[in-house]
A and B are shown apart, each in its own frame.
Chain A
Amino acid sequence: MDARFAEFVQARHKDLLRRAYLLTGGDHAAAEDLVQEALVRGYRAGLRSHIDHLEPYILRTMANLSTSRWRRASSRLEVLTDNVPETQREDTAAGGKDHDVLWDVLRDLPRQQRAVLVLRFYEALGEREIAHVLGVSVGTVRSHSARALSRMRATLAMHDEVGDPR
């Protein structure tokens, strides 16, 4: 493997995995798979010697793969690890319950809506950039974002009315 590419992977893997984790709605195994697949595609696309172009390519590839059905057809080469990710955590900080509610809604969203929200509120991309990354129109980005946020507001309001149902 090209030394610069290997150096990039070592340096950026954790951050790429964070993005993938959000894009997959908190599926750790799928996130590992997503990062690896995007890296393989970046390497094969010849970007191993153009590191400056690699990270945007990886993000775009991960976002698009996460909205497709790629993983069902993949070979499911998964990494076995002793480090089990947390699935539940104690959260008594102010707003913690709201975060849990939003996270549950996010995980339940259609994949493209989830990708739009991750790109907008984690990557801090603008609507045009998101449209470019996902290969959709700006109108589609707006409508996905509006629907997803509306669902989140409604769910939070419902929790306020009935109290914490957990």
Chain B
Amino acid sequence: MTRDVEALLAETLERHAEEVRPHPDPLPDLERRLRARSWRRTVITAAAAAGAVAATATGVLLATSPTPSSPTPSPGTGGGLVPAESDRSADGVRVTISTHCGVRSAWVDGELWLASPPLGGHNPPPGWDENETVGFFVITAPERAEFHGDGRQKALFRLAEPGTPDPNAGCE
């Protein structure tokens, strides 16, 4: 007997997809995961900053740096990315830049900034940390900013137009 296996398979997938019984409210579990992840990233940021401060006292930015983020997640905030891992000072905002797929973008206070130029192709640039680099993000002109890493790394950024996709979004 000959059958159209492709059509049968499409029907099979449709039928079995209907078997799912979703949790009536997926948000509490998602909130919990976001808080857990925010906690982990904050600890990483704080540890990296503390290590950098102990290792050097030469950088102007570091000399005036604020106390690293508290490793205690703040209940009720939902573990939002920026508030949990950034501290403000006169020198800018403390941020963690993803470097795993190169230095391509940064999210600061909910706004996307694009590295101009991007650094490192699709790999961490020489001298940058393997996955993330911690430092200060400083606005230097309208829609222009500089990132100064704790290890003296530097990158230039420009503010992305609204709706611009994050070039780093697919980085795993």
Which A residues are closer than 8 A to B by beta carbons?
1-2, 6, 9-10, 13-14, 17-19, 21-22, 26, 28, 31-32, 35-37, 39-40, 43-47, 49-50, 52-53, 57, 60, 64, 75, 77, 79, 81, 83-86, 89, 95, 98-99, 102-103, 106, 117-118, 121-122, 149, 152-153, 156, 160
Contact = CB atoms under 8 A, between A and B. Distances in A.
A60 B112 CA distance: 21
B168 A81 contact: no
B31 to A, nearest CB: 6
Interface residues of B, number: 44
Q: Mostly helix, strand, loop or mixed at chain A's interface?
A: helix
Contacts of B27: 1, 6, 9-10
A95 B14 CA distance: 14
A46 B162 CA distance: 12
Nearest to A132: B170
Contacts of A10: 26-27
A45 B22 contact: no
Nearest to A54: B169
A45 B20 contact: no
Contacts of B14: 122
Given A36-B26, A117-B9, A46 B169 contact: yes
Contacts of A44: 34, 37, 81
Interface of B: 1, 3, 5-6, 8-23, 26-27, 29-34, 36-37, 78-81, 107, 110, 112, 163, 165-166, 168-170, 172
Contacts of B17: 18-19, 21-22, 122
14 contacts: A1-B79, A14-B20, A21-B20, A26-B16, A45-B166, A45-B168, A50-B166, A85-B19, A89-B19, A106-B12, A117-B9, A117-B13, A121-B10, A122-B17
- Counting from the closest, the 9 A-B pairs by CB-CB distance are A1-B78, A18-B17, A83-B21, A46-B107, A122-B13, A99-B12, A121-B10, A45-B169, A102-B12
Contact of B37 (A9, A18, A31, A40): A40
B163 to A, nearest CB: 7
Given A1-B78, A21-B16, A50-B166, 10 more contacts: A1-B31, A13-B22, A40-B30, A44-B81, A53-B165, A84-B21, A95-B8, A106-B12, A106-B13, A121-B9
